[in-house]
Amino acid sequence: MSTERPLLFALQGSEHYAVRIAQRLGCQLAVHEERDYEDGEHKCRPLESVNGREVVVFHSLYGDGRQSANDKLCRLLFFCAALKDAGARHVQVVTPYLCYGRKDRRTQPQDPTITRYLAAMIEACGVDRLIALEVHNPAAFNNAFRIPAWNVQCTELFAQHFARLVGDDEVVSVSPDSGGAKRAEQFRQALELQLGRSVGSALMEKHRDQATLTGTLLAGKVQGKTAIIFDDLISTGETLKHAGLACQKAGAVRLFAAATHGLFTAGSRLFDRPLFAHIAISDSVPPLRLPAECVTQHLHILDSTTLVAALLAENGAFDRA
Amino acid sequence: MSTERPLLFALQGSEHYAVRIAQRLGCQLAVHEERDYEDGEHKCRPLESVNGREVVVFHSLYGDGRQSANDKLCRLLFFCAALKDAGARHVQVVTPYLCYGRKDRRTQPQDPTITRYLAAMIEACGVDRLIALEVHNPAAFNNAFRIPAWNVQCTELFAQHFARLVGDDEVVSVSPDSGGAKRAEQFRQALELQLGRSVGSALMEKHRDQATLTGTLLAGKVQGKTAIIFDDLISTGETLKHAGLACQKAGAVRLFAAATHGLFTAGSRLFDRPLFAHIAISDSVPPLRLPAECVTQHLHILDSTTLVAALLAENGAFDRA
Amino acid sequence: MSTERPLLFALQGSEHYAVRIAQRLGCQLAVHEERDYEDGEHKCRPLESVNGREVVVFHSLYGDGRQSANDKLCRLLFFCAALKDAGARHVQVVTPYLCYGRKDRRTQPQDPTITRYLAAMIEACGVDRLIALEVHNPAAFNNAFRIPAWNVQCTELFAQHFARLVGDDEVVSVSPDSGGAKRAEQFRQALELQLGRSVGSALMEKHRDQATLTGTLLAGKVQGKTAIIFDDLISTGETLKHAGLACQKAGAVRLFAAATHGLFTAGSRLFDRPLFAHIAISDSVPPLRLPAECVTQHLHILDSTTLVAALLAENGAFDRA
Amino acid sequence: MSTERPLLFALQGSEHYAVRIAQRLGCQLAVHEERDYEDGEHKCRPLESVNGREVVVFHSLYGDGRQSANDKLCRLLFFCAALKDAGARHVQVVTPYLCYGRKDRRTQPQDPTITRYLAAMIEACGVDRLIALEVHNPAAFNNAFRIPAWNVQCTELFAQHFARLVGDDEVVSVSPDSGGAKRAEQFRQALELQLGRSVGSALMEKHRDQATLTGTLLAGKVQGKTAIIFDDLISTGETLKHAGLACQKAGAVRLFAAATHGLFTAGSRLFDRPLFAHIAISDSVPPLRLPAECVTQHLHILDSTTLVAALLAENGAFDRA
Amino acid sequence: MSTERPLLFALQGSEHYAVRIAQRLGCQLAVHEERDYEDGEHKCRPLESVNGREVVVFHSLYGDGRQSANDKLCRLLFFCAALKDAGARHVQVVTPYLCYGRKDRRTQPQDPTITRYLAAMIEACGVDRLIALEVHNPAAFNNAFRIPAWNVQCTELFAQHFARLVGDDEVVSVSPDSGGAKRAEQFRQALELQLGRSVGSALMEKHRDQATLTGTLLAGKVQGKTAIIFDDLISTGETLKHAGLACQKAGAVRLFAAATHGLFTAGSRLFDRPLFAHIAISDSVPPLRLPAECVTQHLHILDSTTLVAALLAENGAFDRA
Amino acid sequence: MSTERPLLFALQGSEHYAVRIAQRLGCQLAVHEERDYEDGEHKCRPLESVNGREVVVFHSLYGDGRQSANDKLCRLLFFCAALKDAGARHVQVVTPYLCYGRKDRRTQPQDPTITRYLAAMIEACGVDRLIALEVHNPAAFNNAFRIPAWNVQCTELFAQHFARLVGDDEVVSVSPDSGGAKRAEQFRQALELQLGRSVGSALMEKHRDQATLTGTLLAGKVQGKTAIIFDDLISTGETLKHAGLACQKAGAVRLFAAATHGLFTAGSRLFDRPLFAHIAISDSVPPLRLPAECVTQHLHILDSTTLVAALLAENGAFDRA
C-alpha cells in the first residue's frame, strides 16, 4: 500500500475543472489515454501506474454536442473499473454535475428511480466514494448510494458573492417552487450571516385549478426589496423566468438569480428580455449553449473548486511528502 | 414450488390490521409463536410450514408502551429471516407505519440516513418486497430500497372521506409546510376529481429572522373557505396546530385536518382547545396515547386495508384454488 | 406469482426485430413509454403492469445517428431496473448486438475489460438472464457474466443459406484471422453436414516483420474453390477485404463473405470494388450506414429471429394459456 | 487515508466501560450526539470528523430499564452506518455483552437462528470487525459472522482471580451443564497453570424421565473440595443454584461461582439463601438489577478491559504519534 | 418457468444413494457426463436440459480411494454452478455426508472455521438450498449458511431400530462426550417415545490432570442395563471404544453403538475385539474401508433415504403431473 | 493498520518457489501449520499474527501424487479465508500454475465455465488480488475475476533464453494451434527485440474432413530455419509433437519448444524419440512425472520468480523499514 499522494485524473471535457483543483492541492493531473473507435465505442486507460494508489477521477456528467450524458457516464464507469482492475486502492469520483438528478422518485406508476440505478452501477464499477456538487434532491441522493456519497452545497459561495453586491438593500431569498424551499432557506441563513442583518424569505408555488396551471402563488414580502431567486439548476430557464416576473409584479426593485448548474438547454431564450441584473452560476457546467455576449453580460460564474479541493484535502491525503 | 395461496402472518400488535386484510382476501392469518424471555430477548417462529410458500408479514412499526419501534423492527427482521431459513419462497412485508421515515437525509454534518440503513437491514434479512403506507419522504424511500418497495398513498381515501362532508363549501387544501406541498397538491387534485369542481390550495411556511422563528407564512386564499390541512403524520400535533391557527386567523370558516399516521406523541394536548371539526387519520397506528373520548369526539379513523389488499391481490396470487 | 405468458418489450430502434419474435411466439409487444428530456436525459417505463410477471426486453446495442451505444445501454439498464422495481419476477434481456464485445481483454497495461464491466452493470440493474447473438469472444463472454448469459451462434443459419447456393462447387471455409479460427471451423462442420460432403478450411494470419505488417499468411487450399470468409462482425470491412484479396490471389473462383453483425462503419467503402458475390449478414444491426442499392445488390440479410424465439420458448414459458 | 490513531466512541450506557479502555490505550473518548425524539426514535452522529479514520465503537447490548437490547442494537447499527457514510475507513465494534447469543440454533422446527441474522445486519451496516466478550456458543459465533469476529474469553481473568483465593484447597472446576463443558475445561487448565498443580473437573447434566426433569446428574469428584462453578452468563441464576446445591450435596466444602456476564434477570433471588462464598463476574453488564448490598457482599466484579485493550492494541494502531 | 417435477442428478459415487430416493419419489435420475482429464481435472455437465427447471443434486462428501473429499466438493460446486449457468431455476443439494463438519470453530489462535468457508463457496456457486444428514455441530451449521440449510437428524431412525431390539431390557442412552450430550438426549427421548417407557441417560467426559488425559468420567447409571452409545460419526472408532469399555466396566450387560456416519478411517481395528452386539450406522457413507465380514457381522446399515425423500416431497414439488 | 512489510506464506509443495521470491524481496517465509486428519481433511493456520497485515500466499495448483489440484485449491481457499478471519488486511494470492485454465468456455451445451467458478470461490474466501503465471486464455481470465487478477506473461523470459542460443540462425516462432497465435506472435516480437533482427512466424492448424482429423495445416515458412514452437503448457505433449513433426517435415533445421507450464501428464513419452534440441519450461510446475535424465537431457527450466517478485514489489510494499 502506497503512502504517496492521490493521483488525479480528469476525463475529456472535465480537464479545465480538474486542473484548477489540482493546482489548489499542489499537484498535477495524471495522464491517461482516451481512444475512440469507428463504431462509437471507446477505451480509456491510465498511463501512470495506479497499483496501490488512491485515485480521484473528475467528470461532469452533462451532455454536450459531442457526448451525451450517457456517453460520459459510461466512460466514467469503465475508467473507474479499469483503475480498480489495475490495483488502485481507493477510487473517488468527483462529478461537478451529476446527471439524472431529476429522475429521483416515482411520480407515475412503474416509474424508474434512476438516481438509485446510477448508484448501483457506480458501485458495481468499484467506486469507493462519490462527491457531487449541489444535487437536485439531497434526500434522494443520500439514500441512493451505499458508498459514502457527499453533496457539496454551494450556498456559501453564492452568499459571499451576493453579500458583496447588495449594499444596504433590503434583501429577500426567493425559492421558485416548494421543492426548493429548504435550499433557499439555507441560502437566506448564509446570507444573513454574511450581512449581519435580517434577510427575508419568499416562496413561489404553482397554482392550479382542476389540473390546469392558472398562475403562481407568491408567499412572503418582496415589495421594495432586492430579490434573489435561488435554485439548484437552470434547465430551459422557464421556472426562473416565471419566478422573476412574479417578483417584479410584486414590487421587487432589483432581481438576481442564482443556481449552481447552468444548463441553459433552451439556449439564450432566457436573456431575450433580461429580467435579472445578473445570474450567478457555478463552473460545474460550462455555458456551452450560450453565445459569448450572453455570458459576459448576464452571467457571473463562481469558482466552486475551492469547496471540492477543501473536501478532498480534509482527511490529510494531500499532506504527504 | 408451491402454487398455493400466500400465507399471511401478523406480529403481535398488528393482528387487528392484518385480520381485516385477510378477510378481504378471503383467507385466515397463519399461526406463529412469539416467545419473550426474561432478559428482554424474544423468539418468533411460524407454526405452519412455510417451505416453498409465498408469505406476507404484517407489522406496524410504531413504538407503544410495551415495545419500542426498535423492538418491533427487530422482531419483524428476525421473523422474516426465519421464514427464509425455513424455505419460504418469497417474503413480502407490509408496514402500515414504517418507522424512521423522518431520519431520511443529512441535515447536519455526519448525520445518519436511517431510512437507507433500515432498507439495508431489511434486505439483509431476506425480505423480497416491502409495502409501506404513506411514507414521509417518497423520494428518500424510493431510493433507499433495492428490493421492490412500494408506497401506498392514502390520498384517495381522504378525498372520498371529505367529499362526503364538505357539501357546497368552497374548499382549500392546505400543506402545513413546504415539504408536504406535493402531497397536499395530490390531495387537492383527488378532491377536485371527487367533487367535480375546483379546490383551492394554500401552503404554510415557517418564517425566520436571523435564525429565530418569528411566524408563519401563509400563501393562498383560505378566507371564507373550508380548509383541510393535509399531512402524512401527526406527531406532537404542533405543526398542525400552528397551521390551524394561521388558517383561522386568515378567515377560514371551517377547519379539518387529515394525516395518514396519527402518533399523537403529546397525548391529547392537541385537543385541549379543539381547532378542527375533526381530524381524519388512517388505521395504521391505533390512537393508543389518546383517551377514548378524544377518539370518539375528534377523530375519524379511515380503513386503509382496502388499498393494501388490492395491491396484494394485484398479481393474482390470491386467485389460486 | 403469475402463470401468464411473459411480456415482451422492445426499446426504441429494436421494435422491428422484436415484433418478429413476438409473432413467432404468438404474442404482441407490450407497451411502454420512452420520454426524452431537453437536457438529453430520458425516462422509460412500462405501461402494462409487470407485477409478478416474467419479462423479456429486446435492445440491439449498436450506435446510430440518434443514439450512441452508450445511450442504448443506459436505456436498457434503467428500463430493466424499473421493471424489477415494479415487481417483475424475472427479467430476461435479448441483445441481438451486444456492444463492447471487442474490449474483452487487456492488451496493453492497465487496459479495461469492458465486457466484464458491462456484465457487472447489467447484473446491478437486476437483469436475470441475457441472450446475445454471436458474441465476439465466447470465452470472454462466458466468463464475464455471473447470471446465465447465452450466446446464440448463427452458424447454422449461414450454413443453410450457403448450402442452397454453392451447387457442386468445391467449398472452403476461411477464417480471416486466427482469433476466428474456431468460429470458421464450426461453420465448416455445419456446412459439411448440410452438404453431406467435405468442405475445406483455410486461415488467414497477419504477417509482420519487426512489428510492421508486411502481408498476409494464408494457410489451406482455396485454389479453384468457392471461398466463404466467415467472421462475427464487419466493422470498416478492411479485414474482410484483405482476406478476400488474398483468396482471390490464391486462386479462389468465387468469393462469399458472411458475418452475423454488419456494422459497416466505413459506409459503402467495402463495395467500391466489389469482391464478393454477396455478403450474408444477419438482421442484428440494420444496414443504416449503407445506401439502399448497396443493400439490394451486395447483401443478403438472414432472419435470426427463429433462433432466438426457439431459445425463449425452450422452457415452455410461451406454452401457457 | 489518515495515519492518526483510531477514534473511540461509546454509546449511551457504555461510557464507563469504554473510558477505561481509552485510558489504557492512552487516549480519550471521541464526542458524539445522541438525540431522542418524542416518538421513541433517535439519531446519533459523531461530532468529530471521522473522514479517513479508523474508529472503534463500544456498546454492551443488554436491556435495561431505559433501553431494550433491541434499542441498543439499533443505535449501534445506525451509528456504525453513519460513521461509514461519513467516510470512516474501518469501523470496529466492541460488544462486552452481545445479545441474542442463546438464540444460536434451531431446536424446534422453523426456529430462527438470530445470532446469524445479527451478523448479517451488522455487516449490512458496514461494520468491519467485531469483538465480543465470552460469547455463549463460540461455534455458532465463529460461523455466523463473515467479517472478522473475535471472541475474547475471560478464562484467564477468572483463573487469576481464583488462584489468589483458593490457598492450598483441592479445587474442582464444575460445568453446570454439558454445553459448557469445554468452557469449564479451559478454565480448569488455566487454573492448573496458575496454581502449578492439579485441578479436578466435574460436570452437571439434567436428568430426565420421559420428558420430565427429575434431577441432576453430577459427574466427577467434588467431595471435600473447593468447587468453582464456571459458566458464561447468569440469567435468573437457577442453573447456578441447582449446580451449587448438587455440589453441596456431593460434599463440596466451599463453593464459588464465576460467569462473565451477570444479568441477574430475577434480581436478588439467587442471594436469598447464599450458596456461594462469592460469585465472580466481569464488568460487561453492570449489576443494575441487584441491590447495592448484594453487590458488595456477594459479587466480585473483575475488570475485563485489559483483555480488550490488549487486543485493540495488538496490530499497533495505537502506537502512532 | 417450468411446472415440471424437479430433475435429480447424482454425482459419481452417490448414485446408489440417490437412486433409492428417486424411486421413493417416483422418478428416475437425470443423466449427466463426468469426464476426467489426464491432469486430474474434470468436467461435469447435465445431458438433459435444465433450463427453467428445479434441480436436486446428490453427493456424499467423504474421501475414498479415488477421490478426496476436496475432489468431491469441487465436482459438486462446479456442477451446481454449471446447472445455474444453464438456466436451472432452483438448485438444491443433498449431502448425505457433509465434509469438514468437525472444523467448525476456532480452538487455537487463527484457526480456520471451514464449515463457514464451505457455506460461502457453496453459495458462490449458486446453490439455493442444502440438505445435510446429521451434521456434527448443528449450531455451527445453522449459522454458517445464509441459504436455507437443513440438518436431517437420524434420531428417529435409530430409535425405531433399537426399539425393536431391546425387548424388556432397561436401556440407557450414552453420549461418548459432552459435545454430543444434546444429541444423545434427543435419542433417549425418541426411544422413550418408541418404547413407551423410561430410558436412562449417561454421559462420558474425558478426564485430564494437568493437560494429560488420565481417564474417562462416566455420569449416570449403566449397571445392569443395555447401553446404547450414540454419536454422529465414527472416525477411527477410538472415542466409541473408550466409551464402550467404560460402560462395560460400569456394569452394562449389553452394548450397542449407533452413529449416522461410519467413516471407519482406521479400518477394522474397532472390530479386533468386538465390544458391541452390533453398531448401527446409516447409509450416508458406504463401509468402504471395512472387509465384507466386518460389515455382515458387526454392522446394521439403516436406510436414511425415507427421511430425505420425505423432506424433498414436503413442498409438493413431486406431486406435479 | 500495520505499516510493516507483507507476510509471505507458501502452502505445502510451493515452498521452493516461494522461498526464492522471498529472497529476492529480502525477507523470509512466515510460518504456518498444515495438519492432515485421518479422514483426508486438513486444517491450515498461520503461526504468526496476521492482524492488520498485508499477506501474500503462494500455491501452485497442479495435482501431484499426494494432492489433487482440488486438494490444493481447497487448502489455498480455506487458508486465505482463515487469514481474513484472523484480521489480515489484504490477502494476495500467487498461483504459478492456476488450475482449470482450459475449462474456460462452453464448447458443448450446458458446459461448465470453471475458470469463472474458481474466481467466484476465490472471491468468496476473501482473496483481494490474484497473480497467475501465463494463464491459458487471457480473455477468459480477465473476465472471470472481479478482484484485480493479473496474468504474468513469460514471453520475455523465453525470448531472453532463446536469444542467447540461436546465434545467427534464421528463426521462426511457431504457434501449435490457432488459439495460441497471439501468444506466439508476442514471443516473436519479443525475440525480434532481443535479436535486433527479423523473426518469422508460422501457425499450425488441425485439418479436418467431415469431422475426422486428417492432418495438420502449417502456414508460414520454416524451411531452413530454427523453429521455436511456443505454447502456454505441455500436457501429454501430443500437440507439441505434432507441431514438431510438421516443422521437421517442412524443412526446419533445428527445433526448440517452449511452454511456461510443463505438466508432462504422459510422463516421458514425449522424449521417446526426441524431436527438440531442448524444451524450455518455467519453474511453475516441477517436472515430477519425468525421470531425472529426461530433465537433465531435454529440459531447460527458467526461473520465473524475478517476474513475480518485481510485480509484488511494484507498489513499494517491500520498501518499508
Q: What is the pLDDT of residues C188-206, one digit of tens each?
A: 999 999 999 999 999 888 7
HEC string of chain E equals CCCCCCEEEECCCCHHHHHHHHHHHCCCECCEEEEECCCCCEEEEECCCCCCCEEEEECCCCCCCCCCHHHHHHHHHHHHHHHHHCCCCEEEEEECCCCCCCCCCCCCCCCCCHHHHHHHHHHHCCCCEEEEECCCCHHHHHHHCCCCEEEECCHHHHHHHHHCCCCCCCEEEEECCHHHHHHHHHHHHHHHHHHCCCCEEEEEEEEEECCEEEEEEEECCCCCCEEEEEEEEECCCHHHHHHHHHHHHCCCCEEEEEEEEECCCCHHHHHCCCCCCEEEEECCCCCCCCCHHHHHHHEEEECCHHHHHHHHHCCCCCCCC
Amino acid in position E86: A
The Cα–Cα gap between F124 and F112 comes to: 19
Residue D143 Cα distances to B70, C291, E179, F90, angstroms:
26, 66, 17, 21
Q: What is the Cβ-side half-sphere exposure of residue D92, based on CA atoms within 13 angstroms?
A: 23
A166: left (phi over 0), alpha (psi -120 to 50) or beta: alpha
- The stretches of chain D forming alpha helices (DSSP H) are 15-24, 69-85, 114-124, 138-144, 155-163, 181-195, 238-249, 292-298, 305-313
> Helix or strand or coil: residue A315?
coil
Residue D140 Cα distances to C210, D149, E89, E113, F205, angstroms:
64, 11, 31, 11, 57
Q: What is the pLDDT of residues E20-67, one digit of tens each?
A: 999 999 999 999 999 999 999 999 999 999 999 999 999 999 999 899
Task: Nearest chain D residue to E214 by CA: give it.
Answer: D200
Tracing cell 474442582 back to the chain, one arrives at D172
A152 and A177 Cβ atoms separated by less than 8 Å: no
Q: What is the pLDDT of residue C178?
A: 86
Task: Nearest chain F residue to E72 by CA: give it.
Answer: F70
C232 and C261 Cβ atoms separated by less than 8 Å: yes
Residues 12-31 of chain F with CB under 8 A from chain E are none
CA distance E48 to chain C (A): 12
CA distance B316 to chain C (A): 6
Question: Is residue F211 pLDDT above 80, yes or no?
Answer: no
**Backbone φ, ψ for residue C93 (5° rounding):** -110, 135
Counting one residue from chain A and one from chain F, the pairs whose CB atoms sit within 8 A come to: 23
The Cα–Cα gap between E41 and E35 comes to: 9
Q: B46-50, C130-134, D205-209: which has the minimum mean pLDDT?
A: D205-209
Find the CB nearest A148 among D3, D49, D84: D84
D52 touching A, CB under 8 A? yes
Q: Say if residue D128 is exposed, middle or buried (CB neighbours under 10 Å; 0-12, 13-18, 19+).
A: middle
Task: Nearest chain E residue to D215 by CA: give it.
Answer: E220
For residue C202, what are the β-bridge partners? C174
D226 and D256 Cβ atoms separated by less than 8 Å: yes
User: What distance lies between CA F321 and its chain's CA centroid?
Assistant: 32
C96 and C284 Cβ atoms separated by less than 8 Å: yes
Which of C40, C105, C235, C287 is CA-nearest to residue A40?
Answer: C235
Q: With an 8 Å Cβ cutoff, are C52 and B90 in contact?
A: no
E222 and E202 Cβ atoms separated by less than 8 Å: yes
Which of A141, A178, A193, A197 best tests the B interface by mutation, with the highest count of B CBs <10 A? A178
Percent of chain A with pLDDT over 90: 88
The Cα–Cα gap between D220 and D200 comes to: 8
The Cα–Cα gap between B166 and D184 comes to: 75
Find the CB nearest E1 among C54, C148, C150: C54
Question: Is residue C209 pLDDT above 90, yes or no?
Answer: no
The Cα–Cα gap between A229 and A222 comes to: 11
Find the CB nearest F70 among E70, E81, E117: E70
The Cα–Cα gap between B160 and D187 comes to: 71
For residue C93, what are the β-bridge partners? C57, C130
User: What distance lies between CA A130 and its chain's CA centroid?
Assistant: 13
Q: With an 8 Å Cβ cutoff, are C52 and B148 in contact?
A: no
Q: Say if residue F316 is exposed, middle or buried (CB neighbours under 10 Å; 0-12, 13-18, 19+).
A: middle
**Backbone φ, ψ for residue F197 (5° rounding):** -150, 170
Binning pLDDT at 50, 70 and 90, where does residue E219 land?
A: confident
The Cα–Cα gap between E148 and E123 comes to: 10
The Cα–Cα gap between F321 and F318 comes to: 8
Torsion of CA B304, B307, B310, B315, to 10 degrees: -120
Find the CB nearest E203 among D119, D209, D217: D217
Q: What is the pLDDT of residues A138-193, one digit of tens each?
A: 999 999 999 999 999 999 999 999 999 999 999 999 999 888 999 999 999 999 99
Q: With an 8 Å Cβ cutoff, are C2 and B315 in contact?
A: yes
Q: A76-90, B152-166, E127-141, F210-224: which has the minimum mean pLDDT?
A: F210-224
Residue C171 Cα distances to B82, C167, C202, C250, C255, angstroms:
65, 10, 10, 14, 10
Q: What is the pLDDT of residues F129-167, one digit of tens each?
A: 999 999 999 999 999 999 999 999 999 999 999 999 999
Decide: B and F in contact? Rule: 3+ Cβ pairs under 8 Å.
no
Active-site annotation holder among F206, F221, F225, F249: F206
Active-site annotation holder among C103, C206, C221, C241: C206
Which of C309, C310, C288, C313 is CA-nearest to residue C299?
Answer: C288
pLDDT, mean of residues A93-119: 97
Q: What is the pLDDT of residues A7-58, one digit of tens each?
A: 999 999 999 999 999 999 999 999 999 999 999 999 999 999 999 999 999 9
D206: annotated active-site residue: yes
Which of B212, D142, C120, B142 is CA-nearest to residue A113?
Answer: B142
Counting one residue from chain B and one from chain E, the pairs whose CB atoms sit within 8 A come to: 23
Residues 217-236 of chain E with CB under 8 A from chain F are 235-236
The Cα–Cα gap between F261 and F257 comes to: 12
E76 and E70 Cβ atoms separated by less than 8 Å: no
Instruction: Please list the ranges in chain B whose pLDDT falls under 50.
Output: 1
Q: With an 8 Å Cβ cutoff, are F314 and A49 in contact?
A: yes
Residue E219 Cα distances to B18, B289, D244, E135, F113, angstroms:
52, 57, 17, 25, 55
The Cα–Cα gap between D263 and D287 comes to: 7
Find the CB nearest E316 among B2, B84, B86: B2
For residue E229, what are the β-bridge partners? E174, E257
Q: What is the pLDDT of residues F62-99, one digit of tens each?
A: 999 899 999 999 999 999 999 999 999 999 999 999 99
Question: Is residue F52 pLDDT above 70, yes or no?
Answer: yes
For residue A204, what are the β-bridge partners? A218
Residues 127-146 of chain D with CB under 8 A from chain F are 129
> Helix or strand or coil: residue B106?
coil
Which of A72, A79, A121 best tests the C interface by mutation, with the highest count of C CBs <10 A? A121
Q: State the cell numbers at D4.
A: 492518526
Q: Which residues, other chains included, contact A240 with Cβ-Cβ below 8 Å and sequence gap of 6+? A: A176, A229, A231, A234, A257, A259, A270, A279
* pTM (two decimals): 0.97
For residue B203, what are the β-bridge partners? B175, B219
Which of C179, C115, C122 is CA-nearest to residue C144?
Answer: C115
The Cα–Cα gap between F133 and A315 comes to: 38
For residue F149, what are the β-bridge partners? F130
Mean of the per-residue pLDDT values for chain C?
Answer: 94
Task: Nearest chain E residue to D176 by CA: give it.
Answer: E178
Find the CB nearest B113 among A142, A175, A217: A142
The Cα–Cα gap between C255 and C274 comes to: 10
The Cα–Cα gap between F64 and E231 comes to: 36
The Cα–Cα gap between B191 and B168 comes to: 13
Q: With an 8 Å Cβ cutoff, are B87 and E316 in contact?
A: no
Q: What is the pLDDT of residues A43-97, one digit of tens each?
A: 999 999 999 999 999 999 999 989 999 999 999 999 999 999 999 999 999 999 9
The Cα–Cα gap between F91 and D148 comes to: 14
D203: left (phi over 0), alpha (psi -120 to 50) or beta: beta
Q: What is the pLDDT of residue B315?
A: 87
B131 and B91 Cβ atoms separated by less than 8 Å: no
Catalytic machinery residues of B = 206
Predicted complex ipTM: 0.95
